[in-house]
Amino acid sequence: MTKRFLTFTAFVFFAFASFGATGDTTVITAHTLSNLASPPSNDDIWTVFPNTSTTYQKIIMKFTLGCGTPQCSGWDYTVNTSLGKKNGAVDSTIVSIDTLLHDTTWSYADHVNFTEIGRLITPYGTYMAAGSNGFNNSWTHPYYYDITDYAAMLKDSVNVRVHYDGWSDAFSAKVEFIFVEGPPTRTVENVREIYNGYFGYGTSSDFENQVTPKTFPIGPNVTSAKVLIHMTGHGSQGEFDPRYIHIKVNSGEVYSHLLWKDDCDVNPVGPQGGTWIFHRANWCPGDKVPIFEVDITPYITPGQNVTVDLDLDDFVIQSGESAGYGISAHLITYTAQKNNDVMMEEIIAPNNDKPYLHWNPICTQPKVKIKNTGKQNLTYAEIKYWVKGGTYWYYEWTGNLPPFESELITLPAFDWFGLDTTDKVFYAQASWPNQVPDEYTYNNKIESAFNMTPKMDSVFYIYFKTNNHPEENWYTVKNEDGDTLSFKSFSANNTIYKDTLHLAPGSYAIDIFDLDTTMWGCGDGISWWLNTQNGYETTGQVNLRRLNNTVIKNFVGDFGGNIHYEFTTGYSLGFNTPKTAPIAPVHSTGINNVTGDDMLMNVFPNPTNNMLNIEINLSKEADGVIQLTDISGRAVRTVHVDNSTHHFVTLPTAELAKGMYFVNFTSKGISVCKRVIVQ
């Protein structure tokens, strides 16, 4: 175990089109490529965080995994990241005993409580170590964790612990904390540990005796609560057998979920040297471990106790087999949370960041993920999306999303025309939760950089050589709207198929699939080392070729369950014929529009050069949102104001382009708009 002290470095920039200090971002680095070596050990770095009253709308931990010294390990091991805080107690250990004088020398150290905030599983690093299959020993991969709920722990001196559970060398870790200033969507009252450890499963009663019900007092000001769970299954039966977990509150079951990841065969870190394709108990090699967030607000009473229990489906351990579960669970309570709040959580595609490589680059339908961060179930949200230089497109999502849960949305194809090819940025914005104005707008909009898709010939062919299990494979060619233009399955062993495509100008996606239902229950590609080694399958091949037989794109045979490849024909991405811009959805909100009343809102100086002052006087206390937008309607400054009859805000304008802007103030019952000129 190593202990080091590292002071923080920081930089500040404007983010999320925010104004002033709100949106300023500070990055604090704890581990800088720390070597994670065997045997299982802790790498501890005491890190200094600012102790201020600043609030943060979001805190992200970026964990970058890389190869260590001497090289990446060839096995899949658990890596846990935790925050350690001194609790005022002192631990002591015996250093030496003088048997003649009966004197004992003791060592004293402050006791530190650790709270897990992220978990990942290392990939089988064989290819990185060997420098093959597109990898080398300089390989790195980032993982992102939203740890906003743990803001209270990230002050003063914190022991940032990375635990590597490996028995062979080695990986490296870089841990960064990204603080984005602004009011949080929820005010955390407390974070309390329910479980933390590895719990072996011998019998059902044995497991229940370890993972026992826990009782906690609920503060009188608590308005909502959730249970957050990191949980992974290990051992032959714990790792490869799916089981349901059950959350009970006050002895009644409120949640159940299958502890299982069934998409390991489309891992963004692939191919790998080991059995990376196998589905597992809530983890995949090379991927971060998903968390479960369970809203228990309906089951708590402020000022009373609550009892939380985690159960697991009963099963019998077979002779010679084993099972155990790594569990870290927290009870998180809040004193304030918005009723209607939708978060744009992730942009899956288009996105050139490494966790999203499998689905990128794209030219057809974007994929985004929204999250319900309000107290009410989310049944409606408006999604606005566009590329820099392009026009807005809209999608109206409907469903029934409980608090803290997320949903992946495939958006309809849109217009890439006007794309700024020098600064390729995609924007996605969620709003109008449950058809009412969003009560918290800081988390509505995110952006992603992306890469261009290739431009293909209008005529080419798909070359597919089957192995001796052709029934496992098929492929589709779809247009930008998801309509299937070509479907191909195979029947003959070790046979070459050539499928010529004649495509009109447009955007297209090819998906090549493999599913082995007989042997593995997942995709094993058409040339996987274990299959060819044990003689179960021979080697297949797939690529795209011109009519003169030259290869345009060769795909690796060890692709797991899917290859996804998008391209344009007839034009490069963004240079298509423009489409008719859609009409934005209309929302009936019951808000009265008020304009021209200087007693309500005064904007000065107007025109302005460097600073713009906004003064708002109301007849009764109200909170609201002040937004400065350009003539296209895009927000360039946003600020939330708390309950008051008088609001005064100053916005910097020096860096804005000259022209006309609009100041909008929105609150319950009123909406006010003023025009302003920036010179």
Give per-residue pLDDT as tens, 370-388.
Answer: 999 999 999 999 999 999 9
Maximum CA extent, the chain:
94
Residue pair 592/670 in contact (Cβ under 8 Å)? The answer is yes
Q: How confident is the model at residue 23 (pLDDT cuts 50, 70, 90)?
A: low
24: which DSSP letter? -
The residues that bridge with 507 in the sheet, in sequence order, are 568
Nearest to 36 by CA among 96, 83, 79, 94: 79
Q: How confident is the model at residue 99 (pLDDT cuts 50, 70, 90)?
A: low
- pLDDT tens column, 259-292: 999 999 999 999 999 999 999 999 999 999 999 9
The answer on pLDDT for 82 being more than 80 is yes
The whole-angstrom separation of Cα 149 and Cα 115 is 12
Q: How confident is the model at residue 610 (pLDDT cuts 50, 70, 90)?
A: confident
The answer on pLDDT for 5 being more than 50 is no
> Which one of 42-46, 92-96, 180-184 scores highest in mean pLDDT?
42-46
Nearest to 614 by CA among 89, 134, 625, 489: 625
Q: For the chain, how many residues are written?
A: 679
**pLDDT value, residue 573:** 97
Residue pair 134/42 in contact (Cβ under 8 Å)? The answer is no
3-state DSSP: the chain helix, strand, coil percent, rounded to 5?
5, 50, 40
The residues that bridge with 460 in the sheet, in sequence order, are 501
- pLDDT tens column, 428-469: 999 999 999 999 999 999 999 999 999 999 999 999 999 999
The whole-angstrom separation of Cα 140 and Cα 81 is 17
**pLDDT value, residue 654:** 87
End-to-end CA distance of the chain: give it in Å, rounded.
59
Q: Which amino acid is at 77?
A: Y
**pLDDT value, residue 619:** 75
Nearest to 161 by CA among 221, 99, 118, 123: 118
Q: How confident is the model at residue 2 (pLDDT cuts 50, 70, 90)?
A: very low
The answer on pLDDT for 93 being more than 80 is no
More confident: 120 or 339 = 120
Q: Which of 184-188, 260-264, 357-361, 635-639 has the lowest mean pLDDT?
A: 635-639
Residue pair 459/498 in contact (Cβ under 8 Å)? The answer is no
Taking residues 599-621, what's their average pLDDT?
84
More confident: 307 or 17 = 307
The answer on pLDDT for 89 being more than 70 is no
Question: What structural domains and CATH numbers belong to the chain?
Answer: 1-83+118-184 (2.60.120.230), 186-333 (2.60.120.230), 342-447 (2.60.40.10), 455-569 (2.60.60), 592-678 (2.60.40.3880)
Q: Taking all residues of the chain, what is their mean pLDDT, rounded to a whole number?
A: 90
Q: How confident is the model at residue 12 (pLDDT cuts 50, 70, 90)?
A: very low
Nearest to 541 by CA among 576, 495, 583: 495
The burial class, CB within 10 Å (0-12 / 13-18 / 19+), for 109 is: exposed
**Phi (first) and psi of residue 48, to 5 degrees:** -95, 120
**pLDDT value, residue 1:** 36
Taking residues 586-598, what's their average pLDDT?
52
- pLDDT tens column, 562-578: 999 999 999 999 999 99
The whole-angstrom separation of Cα 162 and Cα 152 is 20
Distances (CA, A) of 267 to 272, 345, 402: 9, 20, 28
Taking the mean position of all CA atoms in its chain, how far away is CA 491? 40
Is the dihedral angle over the CA atoms 65, 67, 69, 74 positive or is it negative?
positive
Q: What is the pTM of this model?
A: 0.82
- pLDDT tens column, 184-237: 889 999 999 999 999 999 999 999 999 999 999 999 999 999 999 999 999 999
The burial class, CB within 10 Å (0-12 / 13-18 / 19+), for 47 is: buried
Q: Which amino acid is at 534?
A: N
